[in-house]
Amino acid sequence: MKIPITKPYIGEEEKELISKVVDSGWVSQGPMVAEFEEMFAEYVGAKYAVATTSCTTALHAALSVSGIGSGDEVIVPSLSFIATANSVIHCGATPFFVDIDPETCNIDAQKIEGAISKKTKAIMPVHQMGLPADIDAIKDTADRYRLKVIEDAACAIGSEYKGKKIGGHGNIACFSFHPRKIITTGEGGMITTDDFKIAERLRRFRHHGMSVFDLERHKAQRVIIESYLEIGYNYRMTDMQAAMGIVQMKKLPEILKKRQDIAERYNEAFSKIAYLRVPGVPRYAVHNYQSYWVEVLGNAPVSREELMQRLLEKGISTRRGIMAIHKEPCYSMHNVALPHTERITANTIILPLYPSMTDEEVQYVIEGVFDILC
């Protein structure tokens, strides 16, 4: 058996709608993007959604329109994909790394206050692997210090915090549609906000700073001459991508259920292995299981790398746990000690989990892990 780490859940329906878009001739940002944005905003419970080319560009746009720039600091976890910190650098600001709570692998809300300086302008929590960070605790600190909260929700489509979807908590939240995420548009991102002015700035920012949007000009009965109100970027999603996103949104409840069912089977099986720690879910959260990780404990008979290698030999793909950004060469000037982050990045592995995974495939992964460890 060959089991990949993930597989997007794409079928004929996506092909049909994309092909209609191709036939229409409107392949760049247009009516499909507008429809996808509306669907997404409604799903998460936000007033506005703005589509972009990726979550990385979404984060850059969100930070920029929030006024983050040169000389500013943004508090981020180091245990994240490198794009989290890079987006801060893209704005000319500096990421300030804070350790995680090892139970959730999310930024430790209790440690944020100690990291705030005169330069701090924002906190960027990451809902790592789809498990929501403690938004209320983070917001409480942010409000006391008048800081912005911009959520890196790349992995968190469909996850919930205190009964509300991620993206619907009144902060700016940025999502990813990369194929390793919950739903995909090939590449793509989305920003949600309840603030009309921020939404308008984001729409301009992604469209070269132009005063008029394509769809508006197309529908206009009078000639509109555009002007450029600020320096912007081309961060526009195409209508072909949005068509895929619209179909994927309809499949989202099914995708989430399948992921949660598989994670439950993994949890039940792997919690019986004394050498592993399985992910816990705080009472406030609904987890979408964008990724499923286990921690290989110090008493295990094999190392994390050996476990990964032996699983690969059985045809089971795994990935190392989430990276620690401050340990990468390009961030070597950030000389900080983050003990929980360093332990989790060194000892966790991500196991295969995707909606089309069969019962036999799930069983094969479970047996593979038992075979090596027990």
Ligand X SMILES: Cc1ncc(COP(=O)(O)O)c(C=O)c1O
**Torsional class of 225: left (φ above 0), alpha (ψ -120 to 50), beta (otherwise):** beta
| Cα dihedral sign, 57-285-139-48 | positive
Positions that interact with ligand X (CB under 6 A): 54-56, 80-81, 83-84, 126, 152, 154-155, 176, 178, 189
- Work out how close the CB of 345 gets to ligand X at its nearest, in angstroms, rounded to a whole number: 14
The pair of structure tokens assigned to 123 is 């906190």
Contact between residue 74 and residue 120 where contact means Cβ atoms under 8 Å apart: yes
Neighbouring C-beta atoms of residue 27, cutoff 10 Å: 16
Active site residues: 181
- Identify the H or E element spanning 60: helix 55-65
In the block, residue with structure tokens 């008048």: 146
- Work out how close the CB of 228 gets to ligand X at its nearest, in angstroms, rounded to a whole number: 26
**CA distance readout (Å), 129 to 99, 126, 283:** 16, 9, 17
- Identify the H or E element spanning 40: helix 31-44
Contact between residue 62 and residue 266 where contact means Cβ atoms under 8 Å apart: no
Q: Which stretches within 206-338 are classed as H helix?
A: 214-219, 239-270, 304-313
